[in-house]
Structure 1
Amino acid sequence: AMKENGDVNAHASLMGVRRMDDFDIKDIQQKKQQAEQKRNQQEVDLRENHPYFDTPLFLVGRETKLRKICELIVNAKYDYVLRDPDTGKKVKSKYKQLHKLLGLVTYLDWVMII
């Protein structure tokens, strides 16, 4: 196995490989944490420098009932899991593939497709 400095080690043991894997995982975790900190710092900077950074562009605010109703309409999908109302168990369906196909996209997308 070749090291980072170019040395060749013919007797690479399994323990050495494991240590490198552990190092890689720790390195990835560290990079992830640094990226998250950078993102958070950028958001803080934007909030300080731009007072309207987090305000909606439209007349409808983020937490209004109208906006939540619109989100429900836009994200509505067909639920293809059929359950018996009495027992709560799944009901076997002959048209399972069709039900799954209908449940893939939202109703709004189906309107645009058709």
Structure 2
Amino acid sequence: MDEGNMESQLDLYGPELLNSINCSGLPPHKLILKVGVPVMLLRNIDQSSCLCNGTRLQVRKLGNHVIEREVLTGNNVGHIALIPRMNMVPTDETVPVRFQRRQFSIIVSFAMTINKSRGQI
């Protein structure tokens, strides 16, 4: 690809457009966190340590490249470990351009739904 064509592609898909894309499996572009907030993992990080998709965690310390967190659910309740930033590529076919974000694979999770079936009384 020549340099002129690349610049025109960058003009078409500027940072504002790429940052506004919200698709399944990607956290929002801007994630506002505080110490103590409950979060949920969006990717499997370490299955042997029960750091799987859907695991609820609580933020203990924030850093630029890692987040220290405590597990709230599962077999490892109270376990403390670090979550790194990861390269994430959306797989949604409706996205007009292929791009990559380097961010934490978590979303804020104040509430969760639990489906429970009831038998007849």
Give the TM-score taking structure 1 as reference length: 0.24
Higher share in strand: 2
Higher share in helix: 1
- Higher alpha-carbon Rg: 1
Which has the bigger relative contact order, CA under 8 A and spacing at least 6?
A: 2
Give the TM-score taking structure 2 as reference length: 0.23
